[in-house]
Amino acid sequence: MSTASTSAPAGQARAGSGPVLEVDDLRVQFRTDSGLVNAVNGVSYTVSAGETLAILGESGSGKSVSAQAIMGILDMPPAEITSGRIMFEGRDLLTVSPEEQRKVRGPGISMIFQDALSSLNPVYSVGYQIGEMFRAHRGMSRKDAKKQAVELMDRVRIPAAAQRVNDYPHQFSGGMRQRVMIAMAIALDPRILIADEPTTALDVTVQAQVMDLLKDLQRDTGMGLVLITHDLGVVNEVADNVAVMYAGRIVERGTVDDVFGNPAHPYTEGLMSSIPQVEAKGGRLQPIGGQPPNLANIPSGCPFHPRCPKRRTGADALPGRHCAEDVPPLRLVVPGREAACHYSEEVLGV
C-alpha cells in the first residue's frame, strides 16, 4: 500500500530550513533517598519548523523528564542536569542566565500537559489566565489581553468564547480544558510546542478533536511539535518522525512509516506485537517479558537485554557486541534510521 504514505509530511518538506530545537547528549539524574536515579542518559534530537516529532516510551523511560529539562521546569534539586546542550535559536539554554532563559523560552517554546485541570489555576478565570501571557510578555493592558484571549479561545474552537472567557476551569469539560491549555500555549506564536501526553486523560472521540486541532494549528503557524506519548496509534496518525525511548535513552529513531513498518530495535518490535489492533481480531498477543527497568539500577550493557528475545550473550555474541556488557550506541543502521542495538541489521532483516 503506497497510497497512504506517498504524501510527504510537512516536516520533511520544510526540513531544509534547519532545526529550531536541538537537544544534544542531555543527561538528567535525580538524587533520592534510595540512591541516584538516572532518568535521562544521553538523549539527542532535533526538531524543525513544521515537523512533528513523537517521543514514544513507557512510564519511566525519561520522555517527560527530558521535556521538562528543555522547559526549565525540573525541580533542581533533586534533579540535576549533568551534561548536554539544549540549543534554541542558536543559544544554549543551559548556559544563559535565568533572565535570558525566560525571555527566550516564554515566547519561543511552550508546553501543554496531560492533566489540564491541575495545570490551570482554579481561582482565576480562563480568560485571565490566557491573557496573562500577553500581559507578562507583551505588556498589554488587561482589557486588550482579554480581547486577545477571546480570539484565542475562538481559534481553539471553544464554543461561545465571548461568554466563556469569564468562566473558571472547573466549569469546563476535560476536552475544553485542554483547549484552554492549548490557547495559552499558542498565545505568543511559539516556534516549538511540547505536548506531554496531551490526550491521555481524554476519551477517544475528544482525543480525535484535540489532535485534529493541534495539527491544524501547526499547519497554520508552522511550529514544531514535540509529542510525548505512549500511544502507538496517536504516533502513527499524527507524527512525521518518532524517537523510541527506553530507560532514559533513545533506542530507535526514524520516520514513523519506517519505524512502524519495520522496526530496527527489538523493543520497538516488542511494542508493536504486544498491542492488540482495532482493525483485526488477531491471534494471541506477544508480550515483552519481564518488567520495565528500575532507573536507579539500570542493567549493564544494553538496558533492554534482560527482556530481549534476540539478545546475544556468552559465546553467541560477536566481539565488542556483548549485549550484557557493551552498551550499544545509537547508530545509523540504514539511511534515515538510527537504532541502539548491536544486531539491528538482523532485526531489520537487511
Partner 1 sequence: MSEPTDDAAAPLQPVAPGEVLLEVNDLKKHFPLTQGIVFKRTVGHVRAVDGVNLTLRRGETLGLVGESGCGKSTVSKLLVALEKPTSGEIVYKGRDVAKMGGRALKQYRREVQIIFQDPYASLNPRMTVGDIVAEGWSVHADIAPRKGRLQRTQELMERVGLNPDFVNRYPHQFSGGQRQRIGIARALALQPEIIVCDEPVSALDVSVQAQVVNLLEDLQDDFGLSYLFIAHDLSVVRHISDRVAVMYLGSVVEEGTDTEVYTSASHPYTQALLSSVPVHEPQLRGLKERILLQGDVPSPANPPSGCRFRTRCWKAQDICATEAPALVDRGQGHASACHFAEARTVIPVDVD
Rounded to a whole number of angstroms, the minimum distance from the CB of residue 99 to partner 1 is 40
Q: Does residue 264 interact with partner 1 by CB under 8 A?
A: no
Rounded to a whole number of angstroms, the minimum distance from the CB of residue 217 to partner 1 is 15
Q: Does residue 275 interact with partner 1 by CB under 8 A?
A: yes
Which residues in 287-316 contact partner 1 (CB under 8 A)? 287-289, 291-292
Rounded to a whole number of angstroms, the minimum distance from the CB of residue 24 to partner 1 is 28
Which residues in 143-172 contact partner 1 (CB under 8 A)? 159
- What is the distance between the alpha carbons of residues 246 and 108, in angstroms, rounded to a whole number? 28
Q: Does residue 271 interact with partner 1 by CB under 8 A?
A: yes
Which residues in 192-221 contact partner 1 (CB under 8 A)? 203-209, 212
Q: Does residue 349 interact with partner 1 by CB under 8 A?
A: no
User: Exposed, middle or buried by CB within 10 Å (0-12, 13-18, 19+), for 160?
Assistant: exposed
Determine the longest span between alpha carbons in the chain, in angstroms: 73
Closest CA to 338 of 254, 268, 275, 227: 254
- What is the distance between the alpha carbons of residues 116 and 24, in angstroms, rounded to a whole number? 29
- What is the distance between the alpha carbons of residues 19 and 266, in angstroms, rounded to a whole number? 29
Which residues in 92-131 contact partner 1 (CB under 8 A)? none
Whichever of 1 and 123 has its CB closer to partner 1, that residue is 1
Instruction: Please give the order of strands across the beta sheet that includes 109-112.
Output: 109-112, 192-196, 224-229, 52-56, 241-246, 249-255, 337-339, 331-334
Residue range at the interface with partner 1 (CB under 8 A); choices 85-93, 110-118, 131-139, 225-233: 225-233
Whichever of 140 and 334 has its CB closer to partner 1, that residue is 334
C-beta separation of 309 from 299 below 8 A: no
Q: What is residue 215's DSSP assignment?
A: H
Whichever of 208 and 298 has its CB closer to partner 1, that residue is 208
Q: Does residue 237 interact with partner 1 by CB under 8 A?
A: yes
C-beta separation of 48 from 14 below 8 A: yes
Q: Does residue 334 interact with partner 1 by CB under 8 A?
A: no
Q: What are phi and psi of 173, to 5 degrees?
A: -80, 170
Rounded to a whole number of angstroms, the minimum distance from the CB of residue 266 to partner 1 is 12
**Which residue in this structure is represented by grid cell 514514544?**
56
- What is the distance between the alpha carbons of residues 102 and 295, in angstroms, rounded to a whole number? 31
Rounded to a whole number of angstroms, the minimum distance from the CB of residue 280 to partner 1 is 4
Map residues 51-90 to x or -, x wherever contact with partner 1 holds by CB under 8 A: -------xx-------------------------------
Q: What are phi and psi of 52, to 5 degrees?
A: -115, 115
# residues near partner 1 by CB under 8 A: 50
Q: Chain-centre distance of CA 46, in angstroms? A: 12
Map residues 4-23 to x or -, x wherever contact with partner 1 holds by CB under 8 A: xx-x----------------
Residues binding partner 1 (CB under 8 A): 1, 3-5, 7, 58-59, 159, 173, 175-176, 203-209, 212, 230-234, 236-237, 256-257, 260-261, 270-272, 274-282, 284-289, 291-292
